[in-house]
Amino acid sequence: MFYPVGLPTGVFCVIIYVYHLKVIGGQPRFFIQKGEIKLSNYFADVSSHNRSDLAYFQGLKQAGAIAVVIKLTEGCQHGTNYRNPKAYEQITNAKKAGLIVHYYHYYHATDPQDAKCEADFFISYANELNADKRAVMVCDFEEAHITSRSQNTANLNAFFDRVKEYGYMNTDTYSYTSFFNSYINVKDLSTKNIWQADYNSIRGDIGVIAGSWQYTSKLNVLGNNTDFSIDYNNFYTSPYGSQEAPAKPAEDPKTTFTDDLGVKWYIEDGTFTLDDNIKLRWGASVNSTVIATIQNGSSIKYDAFCYSGGYIWIRQPRGNGQFGYMATGTEKDGHRLDYWGKFS
């Protein structure tokens, strides 16, 4: 703690309780928070829009970055099916440059099932790239077409719960100030760091104190505009040891299986309560034989779901190794279009 020479103590005490970031020439120097002056740690985030060569990551290091968050995926295999083609080279050269490496996923999900599917897609690529399980795994939430605040929050928490099932315990939510205020109940998120994007000189109020602040998307690094952020709590910039994966990585839980028709199923126990009369069938197809028509208001228990033929199906255990199948709504490109009932 220090006090500026010539500044009355009372005035300084007022100033130090103001959340503020001083920007000099577009580069932050320090911020004042909670009654003390703290030096800032910086980190960058990159995608396929950024360079992947070693010189670029060395440039990030010289610009003050201690860590980098690299985009791996977007959506899931049923829809966007995007995997960053530069990810391997970016990870390799970031490590060579001495940066701590973390990862992010660009999110599109509109219900908990979609969210889990996207988490599976994200972690599958992370594991393929030998990601360290101590890395921070970020969900990038910035799609305005999504549902209610409470539903968005539940979906995001379902995403993070699935990520943690795979052994990645450090998670974070990234979004803009306007999205945090309009689309998410921030205080109910299971990720407590919160990475806030706000390109104003003072970040906006989102109801909680953000742990990280993306203050610019235009830091020029070797001619490449780059996102740069401040890490207030050292969530991203504290070293977590070797960048190599553990010698004996935890095994992934068995969360999916493929049936005899080549359809991928996602294991999930739950209850579905019908809002209309729906047919229960012997297969996950509208051409399969009908077992019975289940009445509006009835509930059935299920143990898995899938996307097939333009519908989202659930599987009902019926004993003796048999199952019933019910469509719960329609889908397109891996995204649910409607609900024919309620899940619990």
Between 252 and 228, the more confident residue is 228
The CB density around residue 14, as the number of other CB atoms within 10 Å, is 9
Q: Which two tokens stand for residue 182?
A: 């309009």
* pLDDT (average), residues 158-184: 94
Q: What is the pLDDT of residue 109?
A: 92
* pLDDT (average), residues 229-236: 94
CB-count exposure of residue 201 (10 Å: 0-12, 13-18, 19+) = exposed
Residue type, 178: S
Q: Is the pLDDT of residue 224 over 80?
A: yes
Q: 170, 70, 174, 75: which is closest to 121 by C-alpha?
A: 75
**CA-to-CA distance for 11 and 251, rounded, in angstroms?**
57
Q: What is the pLDDT of residue 77?
A: 80
Q: What is the pLDDT of residue 40?
A: 66
Could you give the maximum distance between any two Cα atoms of the chain, in Å? 86
What percentage of residues in the chain have a pLDDT greater than 70?
84
- Strand-pairing partners, residue 70, are 46, 103
Q: Is the pLDDT of residue 249 over 90?
A: no
Q: What pLDDT band is residue 201 in, cutting at 50, 70 and 90?
A: confident
How far are the Cα atoms of 44, 148, 283, 288, 324 from residue 291, in angstroms, in the given order? 55, 35, 10, 9, 8
Q: Is the pLDDT of residue 88 over 60?
A: yes
Q: Is the pLDDT of residue 62 over 50?
A: yes
pLDDT in tens, 32-58: 333 333 456 999 999 999 999 999 999
Question: What average pLDDT does the structure give for the chain?
Answer: 84
Q: Is the pLDDT of residue 27 over 80?
A: no
Q: Is the pLDDT of residue 102 over 50?
A: yes
Q: Where are the alpha helices (DSSP H) in 16-166?
A: 54-62, 87-96, 112-128, 149-165
pLDDT in tens, 253-295: 557 888 888 888 888 888 999 999 999 999 999 999 999 999 9
**73-77, 146-150, 202-206: lowest mean pLDDT where?**
146-150
Q: Which two tokens stand for residue 268?
A: 């999930």
Q: What is the pLDDT of residue 337?
A: 77
